[in-house]
Chains A and B, each alone.
Chain A
Amino acid sequence: MKTDSKITIIPENQKVFYIVFFAAVAILYILSIFQLKLNLSGGLSNFLKAFEFMGKMLNMDFSEWKDVLYGALESISVAVLATIISAVLAFFVSFMAASNVSVNFLTWFWKGIAAGIRAVPTLIWTLIFVAYLGLGPFPGVLGLCFHSFAYLVKAFSQSIEEVKEGNIEALKATGATWLQIMARGVVPPTKTALISWTALRFEFNVAASSILGLVGAGGIGHELSRAMRSFEFEQAGFVVLVIFLMSFGIEMLFHKLKLNVDKRKLKRQ
C-alpha cells in the first residue's frame, strides 16, 4: 500500500458523474433563462408593488368570514369525500392491478389506465369536468376522485406486491380460495401501508381542493379568486390565512396520529 494514497470521500466515478450532472444543470438553467426572455427592467418596482399588496393582505378584513369559512368547509368536504370514494374504489381495483395476486392482462389494463390518468394534473381533470358539468363542488369532487383513484391504485398495488410470496404460498397450500388468501394473507400485512397512503393522499387532496375554486369548482379557492379579482387584498389576506390553517392543521393532526407515510417511498416510485 502506498503511503501517499488518499481515501476519497466521494468515489472517483461518482465524482465524474456529479461534475457532469451539475454542469448539465447549469447549462440547462442558463438556456432556460434565455428561452424565457425574462424582462427584469421593471422588476424592482413590481417587487415593491408586490410587497405593498402583501402588506395590505396582512391587514386582514374578517367581514366576509361567513362565506370564507363556508368555503373552507366546502373545500375540506370535497377533499374528504373524494378521498373516501377513491380509496374505496382503489382498494378493490388494486387487487386486480397487483401483479402477484392477479393475472397479467388485468394488471396491464389497470396499471395502464392509472398511469394515463396520473400523467394529467388534477386541475386539468377538474377543468374538463367543469366544462361538462358546469360550476360548483360536484365537478370538483369528481375531478379529484379521478386523479386520486389512479394515484391510490398505483400506491395500493405496490404495497400489495410487497407482500411476501410465502404468505400467499402458505395459504394456497392449505387450499384457501382467492378471496380467503386476500382476506387473511394479503390485507392484514398491507393494512397500515394502505391507511398511510390514503392519509398522504388526503393531505394532498386538501391542498388541491383549496385551489379547485380557481377553475370554477367552488370552495375556498373561489373566495380567493373573487377577492383578488376585485383587488380586495384585505379580504384575500384572511382567505390565505384560512387556507394556511387548513393545510397546517391537517399536517399537524397527521403528525400527531403518526400517520405520516415514509415520504421517501414517493421518490422510489
Chain B
Amino acid sequence: MQFTYIPLKKEKSLYTWTGVFLVLFTAIITGYVTQFDIREAVIVLPGILDFILVDFLPPALKAVPDFMTSLLDTLCMAIISTTTGAVISMFFALLCATPTTPNSIVKLVIRGFASCLRNIPGLAWAIIFVPAFGIGKTVGLLALTLGSLGSMIRFFTETIEEVDPGGIEAVRSVGGSYWQVLKSGVLPQCFPGIISWALYNLELNIRASTIIGMVGGGGIGFFIQFNIKLFRYEYATMAIIAVAVLVLLTESISKKIRERIM
C-alpha cells in the first residue's frame, strides 16, 4: 500500500482569502449604509448588558395575573391559526403536489399563491389588516393563518412528493380510483411528515403571535411593548420569561410527538 502526502493546494488558500476579503468588503459597505460602527457596538455592549441585568431584573412576579389572559390568547391564536392553516394547506398541497395534482396549471397557480403568502412576513399582513379589522385578535389570527398557509403549502407539497410511488402504483394497478389512491396510497405515508411540519409551524406561530401584538394583533406582545414604553421593565421581563417558557414547552411537547410518530 502506498501512502501519498497530500499538500494543501496554493489555489485553495487563494480562494479562502478572496472569500474573506469579499465578506469583509460587504461588511464594510453594509456597515456604511446602516451607520454601524463596530467600535460603538463594543462600547455600548457593557451598557446593554447592564441595562438588561439591572433594569430588567428581577422580574416582577406581581405582573403574572395581568398578562395571564393575553398569554392564553397568544397560545390560542397559535393553535387556531396552525390548525386552520394546516387543513387548508393540506387541501392545496394535494392539488399542488406532482403525484396528486389534477393538472399543471392548478399546480403553478397554487405554487405562485403560496410563494406570495410566504414571502410577505406575517407582521406585514397584520399591519395590512389593522385598518380594516381594528386592533384585536382577529387581525392576529388572520395574519398568522395567512403566514402559515404560505410555508405549510410548500412543506406539505414536498412531503407528498416524497411519497414512495410504489404505494400509489400498487393501488392504481388493482384499479383504485383517484380517491382510493389518495386514501390508501398517499395519505397514510405522508401523515407523519405532515404532522411534524404542522408542529414545527405551531412553534413558529407561537413565536410570531407573541410579537404580532406589537402592531395591534392582540395577545402578549402588546403587554410587553406597552410596559417597555412605560419603563416598567420588570413587568416586561416577567412576560418575556413567560413567552420563553411557553416556547420551550411547545418545543419539547412537539418533539415528544414527533419522536412518537416518526
Interface residues of A (CB under 8 A from B): 9-10, 14, 17-18, 21, 25, 28-29, 31-33, 35-36, 38, 43, 46-47, 49-50, 52-54, 57, 73-74, 76-78, 80-81, 84-85, 115-116, 119-121, 123-124, 127-129, 131-133, 136-138, 140-142, 207-208, 210-211, 214-215, 218, 221, 224-225, 228, 231, 233, 236, 240, 243-244, 247-248, 251, 263, 266-267
Contacts and interface: CB of A to CB of B under 8 A. Distances in A.
Interface string B112-143: 00011001110110011111111001100100
Given A17-B261, A240-B120, A248-B119, A80 B30 contact: yes
A138 B34 contact: yes
A211 B51 contact: no
Q: Which of B52, B132, B233 has the most CB of A within 10 A?
A: B132
B121 A210 contact: yes
Contacts of B33: 73-74, 77
Contact of B23 (A84, A124, A127): A84
Contacts of A247: 119-121
Interface stretch (B40-48, B57-65, B93-101, B103-111): B40-48
B181 interface: no
Nearest to B8: A184
Contacts of A76: 30
Contacts of B215: 214, 225
A73 to B, nearest CB: 6
Given A32-B80, A140-B34, 11 more contacts: A33-B76, A43-B138, A121-B243, A123-B211, A133-B44, A138-B34, A211-B124, A221-B124, A224-B127, A243-B124, A247-B121
A142 B41 CA distance: 8
Contact of A131 (B44, B228, B257): B228
B195 interface: yes
A129 B119 contact: no
Contact of A228 (B27, B36, B131): B131
B163 interface: no
A128 B52 CA distance: 8
Given A127-B225, A127-B228, A29 B247 contact: no
B192 to A, nearest CB: 9
B132 A50 contact: yes
B243 A25 contact: no
B73 interface: yes
27 contacts: A17-B261, A18-B191, A36-B137, A80-B26, A80-B27, A119-B243, A119-B244, A119-B248, A120-B240, A121-B207, A121-B208, A121-B210, A127-B225, A128-B51, A131-B228, A137-B34, A138-B35, A138-B40, A210-B124, A224-B124, A225-B215, A228-B128, A236-B128, A240-B124, A247-B120, A251-B119, A267-B200
A33 B80 contact: yes
A120 B210 CA distance: 10
Contacts, number: 187
A141 B127 contact: no
Contacts of A244: 116, 119-120
Contacts of A120: 240, 243-244
A157 B176 CA distance: 48
Nearest to B24: A84
Nearest to A85: B27
Nearest to B84: A29
A157 B136 CA distance: 41
Contacts of B51: 128, 132
A17 B260 contact: yes
Contacts of B233: 131
A81 B133 contact: no
B76 to A, nearest CB: 4
A33 B261 CA distance: 27
A137 B124 contact: no
A43 to B, nearest CB: 8
Contacts of B260: 17
B184 interface: yes
Contact of B132 (A28, A49, A85): A49
B31 interface: yes
Contact of A84 (B26, B52, B73, B123): B26
A84 B48 CA distance: 21
B32 to A, nearest CB: 8
A216 B48 CA distance: 17
Nearest to B229: A131
Given A84-B23, A266-B200, A225 B127 contact: yes
Contacts of A207: 119, 121
B102 interface: no
